[in-house]
Amino acid sequence: MRKILFTLVIFPFLFSLSLASEPQGITVNSIPPGATVYVEGEHTFVGKTPFNVPYLLVGTYKITASKRGYENWSQRVNLVGKRSGPLLIRLSPKTRFKATLRSTLFPGWGQHYLNKSFKGGMISLTMIGLTLSSIVADAQYDRAVDSYKQTLRDYDAAKRVEERSALRLKALDREDKADDAYNRRNTLLWVTGALWAYNILDALIFFPSFQQGEYDLGTPVISGGLKKGVPMLRLTINF
């Protein structure tokens, strides 16, 4: 009788513990693990994989994941208030080739890709400024050449000696201005090309190692959410 009573008392207790230990809501895993995950919708949660949102959520949620050395990942999921299977995220590693290709297509893009946002922004802005300046300088050179050629035509058409003498001096002045515009345009083109080449070599040669340090491993993560209308916070520290 004692054995039967003991079983009747202990079994429901163990069964309730097993149910409580099962993960509820949605579980997010990643390859590699340790990615920072944001679950954003009616409520917002943040944590590091493997990460479990212990609430049954309803609605469309945007799940994003990021990890140093890997490309960001994002996906929208529809949750219906039931426990679902784990979501596995495969993060693509950042590569030297992708960084170099981006810098080749648009200067500074490769640096943004490698988390060098300040350097990438400076390169992009400088490149835009140099490109616009080169376009303006090229237009000024074309106008200077046209002005010089027109002065030569006026000189050839002039009949009087005094007029031809004045137009000759004017043609020499126009020629000097055309030469200055030519040199200014070429200088800007050379500087623009040099910056473009530097931007590519920077992404190609100085590719970071992206090694995960102790700071990244030990950074605490605070998860927030609501349970039955009550705000809740959870602190997670990885060792």
- Nearest-angstrom CA–CA distance, 16 and 22: 10
Give the pLDDT confidence score for residue 137 in this predicted structure. Answer: 96
pLDDT score, position 166:
87
Q: Domain segments of the chain: what residues? A: 2-94+213-236, 96-205
**Cβ atoms 183, 107 nearer than 8 A:** no
Candidates 60, 2, 66; CA nearest to 28 is: 66
For the chain of 239 residues, list the mean pLDDT of each consecutive stretch of 10.
Answer: 38 38 70 90 87 82 90 87 77 93 94 92 95 96 94 86 86 92 95 95 88 47 48 48
Q: Quick one: fold of 2-94+213-236? A: Immunoglobulin-like (2.60.40)
**In this predicted structure, what is the pLDDT of residue 211?**
64
Give the 3-state secondary structure of 57-72: CEEEEEEEEECCCECC
Residue 84 to residues 18, 46, 52, 91, Cα–Cα distance (Å): 18, 18, 11, 21
What six digits make up the tokens of 173? 């002045």
Residue 57: per-residue pLDDT: 81
Closest CA to 205 of 105, 117, 120, 99: 99
